[in-house]
Amino acid sequence: MDDRRFWQRIGDVVMVVVGLVWLAPLVFALLMSVRPPEEPVSNGNIFVGSTITTENYEAALKVAPWPLHLLNSVIFAAGVLIVQLFTVTFAGYAFARLTFPGRNLLLLLVLLQIMIPVGVLLVQNFATIRSLKLFDTQLALMIPYWGSAFGVLLLRQTFREVPYELEEAARIDGASWRQVMWNVYIPLSIPAYVSFAIVSISSHWNEFLWPFIVTRSEEVRPLTVGLNKLFSSSEIGANYGQLMAGTIIAIAPLFVLFLIFQRRFIESFATSGMK
Amino acid sequence: MTASTSSSLSWQERLWRFAFPYLLIAPTMIFVVLFTLYPAVKTIQDSFYEPARKASEPAVYVGLQNYVDLFNPTHYLGSRFTRVLVNTLVFSFGTVAFSVPLALLMAILLNRKMRGIGFWRFSVFYPALLPMIGAASLWAFLYSNQIGLINTVLRGFGLPDVNWLGDPNTILASVIFVNVWKQSGYFMLFYLAGLQNIPRDLYEAADLDGANLWQQFRFLTLPLLRRSTLFVLIIALTFAFQTVEQLQALNQGNPADRGNLMLYFIYQNIQERRNWGYVNAMTVILVGILLIFTVSNLIISERREANE
């Protein structure tokens, strides 16, 4: 089938072109970050400057306390996830396996969180954080995300697929609800938990506007806000090498994780909406 | 458990059974109420009030005046709001118009046998992993005037420089492109999952019937991907409506609001007390449009499925 082979070739070419265009920003950011700061792209070799230097990275490291921001990002993402694991497991089980008056209405209310994302209600949520006296604390970043409609839906679906006979058998053996969860439902739902964890971590790791609004001091601000500081402190047209170095510092941790667990990441992102 | 055993339970045990589901849902409900339901209702309520000059005085009920002002071209915020609203719609539909077909194309290309397929999948997916602010700062460099990559390439072809982020005619398109670049690879995943669910023998049967590649795409692939398309459309629109962080690095809505978007505009006006009524009214409009998109998308899909 020559027609098919011809289109296969065209497909390869289109993929390579799209792929290279998509990679270009990252590649040029890397090149720019190791280029001597006084050598703009328009001078000399477009790809690399006269030498490769770490000057930009050293300068970027001085602008913001990156280790502190990194730690804050870890605390933020982990603090959200740990509480979420409890809340979504409880609610996921209730919506999957229990019948009670008002179940559908309550589920609908939870689902509203998907349609009206927390970040859109900036003004009121900011006011709530202030009246809870949480402004400029780690808790202010995390607390709005402690209930997760996405997680509840995902676990509800997953728990429903667990054969009910397994729960019954455990009950007959005298297992408590906690033991049933721990020995039956949770072990059988590990892939769903992993997916949820990956989606939760990467979305909070990358969050900017909310942390930017509810914090003021560097002691609690995550990486994305540190990056913003670098951006606003570098004068327009100057210091792009330094900005690129800072950007790479900020995006590197999640990237390394992705490269290690590429498959899991892609599968998890793909389940973040299906069903 | 049978009815006879449950009726022999003590009242404490029956109360516990009744309360148990609600106790399980309560932790989730507390946060959903506190940070979604309550603020949603409070936003609507506050959008009818004008804040007093001093924090100690109560706000004044003004009915729909905040909304009227927002569409009044001589008002200090109204003169800007219409522009920002139109920008947001152009931005959202522009992003969807380019990123959704592109995502489908990527998925079809990646659903074939090809050397280095993992690498190419990475090449289009990695932007989804970046924080929006990081992605935008990469692009701020590519777009920049003197040393930016794009202008350097243009100059290489003997073309004039374009001030991508400074020119009112190119700023919005530049912001849209960053969004398309950032999200197409993510949407691609849903199409890829959809494609992998289509049984191979359908194509073999179509081959036997003499259907060419275009006909197979048009009458087999596209209809079978309808659910994926619907899902991608919904998340693409809702994402576009709330992704504004890139503006922080891409000229902050300037020049003259030509590159500004609603949620960013709301953030810009959050500090000043006198704007609070307007900021709430704008949020109501934003959420209203968001809900219209989601709900109408769902209704359309239900209808289509009912007709089949």
Task: Select the residue from B121, B133, B274 to test the A interface by mutation, using most A Cβ atoms within 10 A.
Answer: B133
Cβ contact, residue pair A87, B28, below 8 Å: yes
Q: Are B21 and B169 contained in the same domain?
A: no
Question: Which of B28, B126, B241 shows the shortest C-beta gap to A26?
Answer: B126
Query: A140-184, pLDDT tens digit by residue?
Result: 999 999 999 999 999 999 999 999 999 999 999 999 999 999 999
**Whole-number percent of chain A with pLDDT over 90:** 54
| Partners of residue A273 in chain B, C-beta under 8 Å | 190, 231, 235
Domain co-membership, B273 together with B153: yes
Which token pair is A217? 């001091």
Residues 226-255 of A with CB under 8 A from B: 227-228, 231, 236-237, 240, 243-244, 246-247, 250-251, 254-255
Same domain, B23 and B89: no
Residue B115 within a domain: yes
Cα–Cα distances in Å, from B41 out to A123, B258, B265, B269? 12, 31, 21, 20
Phi, psi for residue A70 in degrees, rounded to 5? -60, -45
- Look at residue B45 and tell me if it is in a domain: no
Return the structure tokens found at A253.
């941790």
| Total number of domains in chain B | 2
Radius of gyration of chain B (CA): 26
CA distance A93 to B215: 45
Q: How confident is the model at residue B94, as a pLDDT?
A: 95
Single out the residue of A36, A41, A48, A238 nearest to residue B156, CA to CA. A41
Tell me what pLDDT residue B305 has: 64
pLDDT at A45: 58
Chain A: closest CA distance from residue B144 (Å)? 7
Find the farthest-apart pair of alpha carbons in chain A and give their distance in angstroms, rounded.
78
Does B246 share its domain with B179?
Answer: yes
pLDDT at B296: 79
B106 and B218 together in one domain: yes
Identify whether the C-beta of residue A81 lies closer than 8 Å to the C-beta of residue A200.
yes
Please answer whether residues B248 and A190 qualify as being in contact, where contact means their C-beta atoms are separated by less than 8 angstroms: no
Least confident range from A210-219, A228-237, A244-253, B113-122: namely A228-237
ipTM: 0.88
Contact yes or no for B233/B297 (Cβ under 8 A): yes
Q: What integer pLDDT is reported at residue A60 of this predicted model?
A: 84
Cβ neighbour number for residue A144 with a 10 Å cutoff:
24
Residue A20 has pLDDT above 50, yes or no: yes
Residues B146 and B281 grouped into a single domain: yes
Residue count (chain A): 275
Q: What is the pLDDT of residues A43-92, one digit of tens each?
A: 555 566 677 888 888 888 888 888 899 999 999 999 999 999 999 999 99
At residue A275, the pLDDT reads: 31
- The H-or-E segment that residue A4 falls in is helix A2-33
Residue B91 neighbours by CB distance under 10 Å: 23
Domains of chain A: 2-53 (no CATH), 60-271 (1.10.3720.10)
Inside any domain, residue B58: no
- Judge if B14 and B101 occupy the same domain: no
Question: Quick one: pLDDT at residue B228?
Answer: 86
Q: Are A15 and B109 in contact (CB under 8 A)?
A: yes
What is the token pair recorded at A18? 């799209």
pLDDT attached to residue B140 = 87
Is B177 a domain residue? yes
What residues of chain A lie within 8 A of the CB of B123, using their CB? 19-20, 22-23
In this predicted structure, what is the pLDDT of residue A1? 54
Would B181 be classed as within a structural domain?
Answer: yes
Residues of B in contact with A23 (CB under 8 A): 123, 126
Query: What pLDDT is attached to residue A237?
Result: 47
Q: B278 and B136 share a domain?
A: yes
Domain that holds residue B23: 1-37
Distances (CA, A) of A88 to A145, A268, B69, B283: 11, 17, 42, 28
**pLDDT (0 to 100) of residue A249:** 86
Taking CA A179 as the corner, what is the angle to CA A177 and CA A181, rounded to the nearest 5 degrees?
70
Spatial distance between the Cα atoms of A198 and B124, rounded to a whole number of angstroms: 19
Q: Can you tell me which residue has the tokens 């609600």?
A: B22
Decide if pLDDT at A274 tops 50: no
Residue B76 is assigned to a structural domain of this protein:
no
Q: pLDDT category, A41, cuts 50, 70, 90? A: low
In chain A, the residue whose alpha carbon lies closest to the alpha carbon of B106 is A15
State the CATH number of the domain containing residue B102. 1.10.3720.10
In chain A, % of residues over pLDDT 70: 91
Estimate the crossing angle of helix A66-97 against helix A240-260, to 10 degrees. 40
- Which member of B125, B235, B263 has the closest CB to residue A273? B235
DSSP secondary-structure letter at B61?
E
pLDDT at residue B281, as a whole number? 95
Tokens representing B150 are 């794009």
Average pLDDT in the A249-275 region?
78
Cα separation, B50 vs A50, whole angstroms: 61
Is the dihedral angle over the CA atoms B145, B147, B149, B150 positive or is it negative? Answer: positive
Instruction: Give me the tens of pLDDT residue by residue for chain B, a chain 308 residues long.
Output: 444 455 678 888 899 999 999 999 999 999 999 999 999 999 999 999 998 888 788 888 988 999 999 999 898 888 899 999 999 999 999 999 999 999 999 999 999 888 888 899 999 999 988 888 888 888 988 888 777 778 888 888 888 888 888 888 899 999 999 999 999 999 999 899 889 888 888 888 888 888 888 888 888 899 989 888 888 888 888 888 888 888 888 888 888 888 899 999 999 998 888 898 999 999 999 999 988 888 877 777 677 666 65
Quick check: helix, strand or coil at residue A36? coil
B102 domain-assigned: yes
Residues B3 and B126 in one domain: no
Tokens for B257, please give them.
Answer: 């609001």
Structure tokens at A23: 């990679």
CB B285 within 8 A of CB B85: yes
Q: What is the pLDDT of residue A270?
A: 75
| Distance, first Cα to last Cα, chain B | 42
